[in-house]
Amino acid sequence: MRSIFGFGKAEDVPASPRTSEKAADSPKPADEQHAADPGMPPIFDCQPVTDSSILQEIKPLSDDEKKVFDRIKAEIPELIKDLPPVDPEALQFIDPDMPLDIEGWLTDECIARYVRARKGVYEDTKKALRKTIEWRASTRPHAIRPDVVEIESQTGKAYFNGFDKFSRP
């Protein structure tokens, strides 16, 4: 039998203990929901980093990247027209009354990330943004209903585990 990495034996891979199999002396979380349902992942009481000296500074765009940024920003109306309809498979998971807010998602910071990721190449940046906009329009990730993902939290696949040193959850 193969391990989780595709080689070796599965017996060689240490199994991670399930919530119900953890040692009795392990610390108990403070939240009442976990106490009522031991299968529920714990919710940690974590605070975001407030020391700004360790936060990562974002470099400004170079002159060439700024030109690409300005061109893309001017072409937003063209980028968001003729979007595809909602994927029929996605309709079962989303709230149909939730409006599509591409302009709200397409912030200056978002455009700058795409410009940086494509190394300031205009055509590559425009193509990547258009593909993302089309995907967001057809799948509507912002409109996924909470009841659809609730089971993922209950089974421990999704949980909040505090903040990193840059104050990101």
Task: With a cut of 70, say whether residue 15 has pLDDT above it.
Answer: no
16, pLDDT greater than 90: no
Range from 8-17, 47-56, 80-89, 126-135 carrying the lowest mean pLDDT: 8-17
Give 48's pLDDT tier (boundaries 50, 70, 90): low
Q: Which two tokens stand for residue 147?
A: 């009841």
CB 160 within 8 A of CB 43: yes
Q: Which of 1-10, 41-50, 82-91, 149-158 has the lowest mean pLDDT?
A: 1-10
pLDDT at 132: 95
C-alpha–C-alpha distance, residues 164 and 167, integer Å: 5
Higher pLDDT, 72 or 29: 72
- Region 146-160: mean pLDDT is 82
Cα angle value 96/98/101 (rounded, 5°): 130
Among 46-50, 51-55, 89-93, 126-130, top mean pLDDT goes to 126-130
C-alpha–C-alpha distance, residues 100 and 142, integer Å: 8
pTM over 0.85: no
SS3 34: helix
Q: What is the pLDDT of residue 135?
A: 93
Residue 108 has what pLDDT? 92
* 18 or 89: which leads in pLDDT: 89
- Is it the case that residue 27 has pLDDT exceeding 80? no
